[in-house]
Chain A
Amino acid sequence: MNALLAASANAAGSPQDAPLVVIDCKLDRIFYGDFLAVRDSHVPIEKGRITGFIGPSGCGKSTVLRSLNRMNDLVRGFRFDGHVRFHGQNVYASDVDPVVVRRYIGMVFQQPNPFAMSIYDNVAFGLRLNRFKGDMDEKVEHALRRAALWDEVKDKLKNSGLSLSGGQQQRLCIARAIATEPSVVLMDEPCSALDPIATRKIEELMLELKQKYTIALVTHNMQQATRVADRTAFFSVDISKGGRTGYLVELGDTKQIFEDPKEELTKQYISGEFS
């Protein structure tokens, strides 16, 4: 666990020109019970960039994302071959507590999921978990400002997080995730439940956040990937052997994936031949 800490500290001072791989994820096979969900997916997540995961439904992009901070541990029957290294440290090593991994790799989910407590307490939740002793009010305000929510909620911090609109709830969840300043933020289709205006705000927020955090973003919306992602990973589903196994088809700079895809399947997908 200390290795994680040390690795995290070292990474801060590394040069920006050679992109540093924060999470090296090589997932040869992911199983849920006997079901082979994902195969052959090697996605390095680079520091200070947004890596977009695109692909049709069931292609395993969320599964890959959730493997990065061990959220799949909550799913019964999950196992995999391969490795996930966070700053060189294997996050699935037997002496690594998944709780510690999740404190450095935060997550925003598809459905806004604020807790049934006040807006303030929602944002302070992670800070309190980490036994933060400093100025709580300032941290909460800072996180809410970064999540572009402060002006809308500053007069009603005591109200329930559930009293906000869907888009506000999602920004509250982002504020909650970034309040503790994790090194990486995973976003699993954060805009799929939101209207275009809220989506726009959250996309602006992601571009703003990547100055400070590394982001991995699963999106069902190709245009969203072109708007925000620096790197794009295209996944597809292999139904050849009777199952539905997702795999990585192509990974590259977003511009290259959308303008000059190397794989035929990628070309078909981005031109809208299937979705």
Chain B
Amino acid sequence: MKMFEAAQSSESVSGPPSRIDYVVDRTFRGLAKLGAWMILAIVAALVLEVGRKAVPAITEYHLGFLTSTTWDANKDQFGILPEIWGTLYSSLLALIIGGFFGVIMAIFLTQDFLPPRLASIFRTIVELLAAIPSVVYGLWGIFVVIPAIRPVADWLHETLGWLPFFGTTLSGPGMLPAALVLAIMVLPTIAAVSQDALRLVPFRIKEAAYGLGATRWEAILKVMLPTASTGIFGALVLGFGRALGETMALAMLVGNSNQISLSLFAPANTLAALLALNFPEAGETEVKVLMYAALVLMLITLAVNVAGTAIMTMTTQQWVKRK
């Protein structure tokens, strides 16, 4: 490590890093690399292990498993179409409701509607929603949400019963209470990420809108939201991903009934709830089948996230070429 000796003098403090410095540097780099690869390795191991355990069921039931609607462990008949439908339907409803309110909330908390201190209090409260355990949400759904929506549900069924959405009566647990609770559960994620996206819009863009004589709503709807749209879309994808995988609250609220119905009041089932409720008592064959179902759930979540990221990069590239 003898270099630049000509630059050395008795007073000079400058010198090369010591051997220990290099060792520390290399160790740290190694650890960082290990951490990064570890994430990939864990995901790969998970998918592979679940996949491996699902292979017997895949060879036995093939793709018919995805399109068949009966689940009878005694007759060894298994199909998860109702669960796939229930997972997507409940998540989509939650995304519509939670997304709407989440984005509205993000606008409300970032666009100077409130004095800064009050806004930060509100923000903390919204974030606290994420800290509530999902079993508590489930209980709240059973004891508060279901009784509260029952009169509305009955009225809707009686007056608008010809619409498929209101085609059945609310017997207790069902799609609507599950979707409502799920909406509240995804709301903090959507609100928080949307707030970040809106806050990232430079002040000069806002100034430009107001400088042209835009009213507050024109500035928000025509400038702020479109500018932040990529980030808000990301928030919605994250929220949808969270809704797809949510288990406990849905297992308590969705009704666990293997049927496909557009009705908001009918009981249904989701993949996550099916897995959670059936594993404890599953026999050998059923475990293999449940592994197949778990694999399907993982693939759906993965597909949603990949599609979301792809759409985000495409729209970003289109508009923000120089930045």
Docked-complex contact A115 and B213, CB < 8 angstroms: no
Q: Contact mask A157-172 → B, CB, 8 Å, 1/0?
A: 0001011000000000
**With known contacts A160-B318, A163-B322, A117–B226 Cβ distance under 8 A:** yes
The verdict on B147 contacting chain A, using a C-beta distance below 8 Å, is no
Partner of B218, one of A115, A116, A129: A129
Q: Which residues of A contact B212 (CB under 8 A)?
A: 102-103, 106-107, 125-126, 129, 176-177, 180
Docked-complex contact B223 and A74, CB < 8 angstroms: no
Docked-complex contact B321 and A109, CB < 8 angstroms: no
The verdict on A6 contacting chain B, using a C-beta distance below 8 Å, is no
Q: Which residues of B contact A76 (CB under 8 A)?
A: 116
Partner of B213, one of A126, A160, A163, A173: A126
Docked-complex contact A113 and B321, CB < 8 angstroms: no
Q: Contact mask B177-193 → A, CB, 8 Å, 1/0?
A: 00000000000000000
Q: How far is the CA of A130 from the CA of B212 in the complex (A)?
A: 10
Docked-complex contact A74 and B213, CB < 8 angstroms: no
The verdict on A99 contacting chain B, using a C-beta distance below 8 Å, is yes
Docked-complex contact A162 and B320, CB < 8 angstroms: yes
Q: Pick the interface stretch among B47-55, B158-166, B200-208.
A: B200-208
Docked-complex contact B226 and A69, CB < 8 angstroms: no
Q: How many residue pairs, one in A and one in B, have C-beta atoms under 8 Å apart?
A: 76
Docked-complex contact B213 and A129, CB < 8 angstroms: yes
**With known contacts A115-B205, A116-B226, A102–B322 Cβ distance under 8 A:** no
Q: Which residues of A contact B226 (CB under 8 A)?
A: 115-117
The verdict on B215 contacting chain A, using a C-beta distance below 8 Å, is yes
Q: How far is the CA of A209 from the CA of B223 in the complex (A)?
A: 27
**With known contacts A102-B213, A103-B213, A113–B207 Cβ distance under 8 A:** yes
Docked-complex contact B321 and A71, CB < 8 angstroms: no
Q: How far is the CA of A101 from the CA of B210 in the complex (A)?
A: 11
The verdict on A1 contacting chain B, using a C-beta distance below 8 Å, is no
Q: Which residues of A contact B318 (CB under 8 A)?
A: 160
Docked-complex contact B204 and A113, CB < 8 angstroms: yes
Q: Which residues of B contact A163 (CB under 8 A)?
A: 321-322
Shortest beta-carbon distance from B204 to chain A in Å = 4
The verdict on B323 contacting chain A, using a C-beta distance below 8 Å, is yes
Docked-complex contact A71 and B208, CB < 8 angstroms: no
Please provide the chain A residues from 120 to 134 with a CB less than 8 Å away from any CB of chain B in the complex: 125-126, 129-130
Q: How far is the CA of A99 from the CA of B216 in the complex (A)?
A: 9
Q: How far is the CA of A160 from the CA of B323 in the complex (A)?
A: 12
**With known contacts A115-B227, A117-B226, A125-B222, A109–B320 Cβ distance under 8 A:** no
22 contacts between A and B (CB under 8 A): A71-B211, A74-B206, A74-B210, A76-B116, A99-B213, A101-B213, A102-B211, A102-B213, A113-B204, A113-B207, A115-B223, A115-B226, A115-B227, A116-B227, A116-B320, A117-B319, A125-B222, A126-B213, A129-B213, A163-B321, A177-B212, A180-B213
The 4 closest A-B pairs by CB, nearest first: A103-B213, A107-B211, A102-B213, A113-B204
